[in-house]
Amino acid sequence: MVDPGADISAPNAAGPPTAPKGVQAADAGSTTNAPGEPTPTAPRQLPIILDRNSPVPLYHQLAQAIEAAIRSGELSPGDRLENELSMTTRLGLARPTARQAIGELARKGLVVRKRGVGTQVLSPRINRETRLSSLYEDLQAAGRRPETRLLSYELGVSAEDLLSSGVELAETELSGEFLKITRLRIADGLPLAILTNHLPARLAVSEADLAGTGLYAALRARGVNLRVAHQTVSARLMTADEGKLLAERRPAACLTALRVVYDDSGRLVEIGQHVYRASHYSLEVSLAP
């Protein structure tokens, strides 16, 4: 259907030492036992050590320890976690603390809690997260060689022409001066995307910053906490200019994304208009219930 060759999915930040490759179907297809939920086994007592002097909260230490056990394969899909009471007495914690840890994992989709039953580990395949990541970082994480070619860099431009492009933004947010940059993103020598970004002038990054790293890394370095983003994704035919830059013979389809990013107090950080070479790129999206 779609060439998955350039499918870029960001692996989780904490790299598992022994990542489970593919799917380890523990049991064959017994029809009563669903494939996603292999033979449940007895609860396991994980060898967890907590550092009460660490600035990292106990519940988070615990959550990370369990997550590591899941990602390393020490706990397999279908395994039951040690029950909350046993875990808390064993580790010298109060129940709410342990519950906070397990709740964190449940929200991430790593485990399911069932009243009267216990907490079960889910198949890691269904755990990928939708992250606010930059293409640059995604490419790096996937072990590819990203490059950037700065096509234009204009400081002090207006962003009000964006109003007509379907962005759902208030006029007040688009007033003032902006930095507009256009970049060509290349991976392993192949052009992959044309990225156009508008940033409020107060966040202007230098041309040098953009060359060596991704835009988001540059913003984080300036102390911006990225928080919420929306993306509107669609597709259309490439224009002649786009086809030339992306090395596609026309007619060709491109994937388009219009992204609006805010920081943790709701201030506008960036508006990105991205054009991806659809034949070499696909987007991973997770959906919540």
Partner DNA sequence: TAGTGGTCTAGACCACTTA
Partner DNA sequence: AAGTGGTCTAGACCACTAT
Sites for a copy of itself among residues 230-249 (CB under 8 A): 230-237
Distances, alpha carbon 182 to alpha carbons 53, 79, 97, 196, 198, in Å: 47, 49, 47, 4, 9
Instruction: State the nearest-atom distance from the C-beta of 9 to a copy of itself, in Å.
Output: 8
Are 279 and 235 spatial neighbours (Cβ–Cβ below 8 Å)? no
**Per-residue CA distances from 12 to 16, 28, 127, 141, 242 (Å):** 9, 29, 10, 9, 32
Q: Does residue 141 bind a copy of itself (CB under 8 A)?
A: no
Phi, psi (deg, nearest 5) at residue 98 = -65, -40
Partner interacting with residue 57 (select from a copy of itself, DNA, none; CB below 5-8 Å by kind): DNA
Q: Which is nearer to a copy of itself, 95 or 211 (CB)?
A: 95
Instruction: Report the nearest approach of DNA to the CB of residue 122 (Å).
Output: 14
Among 67, 79, 84, 104, binds DNA (CB under 7 A): 84
Q: Is 181 exposed, middle or buried (0-12, 13-18, 19+ CB in 10 A)?
A: buried
Name which position in 6, 66, 93, 258 contacts DNA (CB under 7 A).
Answer: 93
Binding to a copy of itself by CB under 8 A, coded x per residue (else -) over 112-131, reads x-------x-xx-xxxxxxx
Per partner kind, with CB cut-offs from 5 to 8 A, the member of a copy of itself, DNA, none near residue 95 is DNA
Give residues 107-166 in contact with DNA (rule: CB under 7 A): 113-119
* 23 near a copy of itself (CB under 8 A): yes
Which residue stretch of 57-65, 67-75, 152-160, 227-235 sits at the interface with a copy of itself (rule: CB under 8 A)?
227-235
Q: Does 86 engage in binding with DNA (CB under 7 A)?
A: yes
> What is the spatial distance between Cα 52 and Cα 209, in angstroms, rounded to a whole number?
39
CA distance 80 to 76: 9
